[in-house]
Amino acid sequence: MQRGALMEQEIRQQPSVLSQNSSRYLKELKEAFGNQEKPEMVLLAARGSSDNAALFARYLFEIHLGIPVSLAAPSVITRYKSEMKYPRTLVVGISQSGAAPDVAEVLSYMAERGHPTLAITNTAGSRLTKVARHSLLLEAGSENSVAATKTYTATLLALYQLVRAIGGESCNLADPKLPDDNWIEKSLQLATEVHGVLNRSNPVFAIARGYGFCTALETALKLMECALVPCKAYSAADFEHGPKALAGHNSVAISYFGSLQGLQDQGCEILKVEAPLERTPENDPIFPLWDIIFGQWLSLLVARSRNLDPDKARHLSKVTETL
């Protein structure tokens, strides 16, 4: 079997997983939260790829609903036993396996204090579903590669639909245009054309901004865990405040934010992800579901070129438990 065969299979399953579940996510989340008073705050608890998805949700909640969001630091509760006081808060715990102890602890802590809680997971009957008042099952099917692919994009879609469910007609988020099989092939072709440069480049950056910042973070994570490529993600704005000095000859920037003017003059090679749709204010919020497919292919192809198997990523397991 080819290295990363499971990861490739799961990348290719994403269009069907997303299209089959999109309307169900919205329906179930409307039933749970559509008639409730809007929260004054949202607290998101997650780790790894789920944490990157949570950042996407932060932009959605704050831009479209005007609700401030905090990304939980679970150790404040699990290690330091702090007594936090929150206003009326919706707490969302995200874990593909549903087994994350620290995420479950945040949900339990907040539920005990009367806050509404939601678990987003791919695993029925998991720890998160037992401690949260509401659960949304991704139903992405079994994900056997260590590298999260379809569960990541399914989580992005679930969070997008959560904001729509809470905001109703006022949130200005359209019915999402979802990646299709043509985009799977197009992004594979692009990744095939450019992936070789990552084997001869140092440092490697992943750069985006706003809604797409989660994509830069997830691309960097995938390159590290699948292909052992040290990659650092930056907001395009933060990149200008110091890290840009490292972008010289032999460096490469994977850009989800256009051509990054000035970097080529420094000798940095830019891998610009071509937009599958016209980038407009209406379409911008859904681009992370499209763009990351390029990042997934890129990580898989670089791993194969290094004789690495992302289905069995080095020193990693599918379920990671931390407190």
The amino acid at residue 79 is: R
310 vs 226: CA distance, rounded Å: 5
Fold matches, 5-171 and 182-310: yes
Report the pLDDT averaged over residues 121-149.
95
Question: Which of 153 and 77 is assigned the larger pLDDT?
Answer: 153
Strands 269-272 and 89-94: unpaired
Q: Give the C-alpha distances (Å, rounded to integers) separating 323 from 21, 42, 96, 145, 288.
A: 31, 22, 17, 24, 29
145 vs 7: CA distance, rounded Å: 5
pLDDT in tens, 138-175: 999 999 998 999 999 999 999 999 999 999 778 889 99
pLDDT at 286 over 80: yes
Architecture of domain 5-171: 3-Layer(aba) Sandwich (3.40)
Percent of the chain with pLDDT over 90: 72
Q: Give 70's pLDDT tier (boundaries 50, 70, 90).
A: very high
**Contact at 8 Å (CB) between 152 and 218?**
yes
**Contact at 8 Å (CB) between 108 and 77?**
no
Q: Give 313's pLDDT tier (boundaries 50, 70, 90).
A: low
pLDDT at 17 over 60: yes
pLDDT at 178 over 80: yes
pLDDT in tens, 197-224: 999 889 999 999 999 999 999 999 999 9
Closest CA to 188 of 14, 311, 11, 1: 11
Q: What is the pLDDT of the chain when averaged over all its residues?
A: 92
For domain 182-310, the CATH class is alpha beta
Q: Give 321's pLDDT tier (boundaries 50, 70, 90).
A: low
Is the whole-model pTM more than 0.85?
yes
Sheet containing 41-45: order of strands: 69-71, 41-45, 89-94, 117-121, 134-137
Give the tokens for residue 292: 């990351």
Report the pLDDT averaged over residues 90-94.
98
What helix, strand, coil percent values describe the chain, rounded to 5? 50, 15, 35
pLDDT at 245 over 60: yes
**Contact at 8 Å (CB) between 111 and 133?**
yes
pLDDT in tens, 27-65: 999 999 988 899 999 999 999 999 999 999 999 999 999
Where are the domains positioned within the chain?
5-171, 182-310
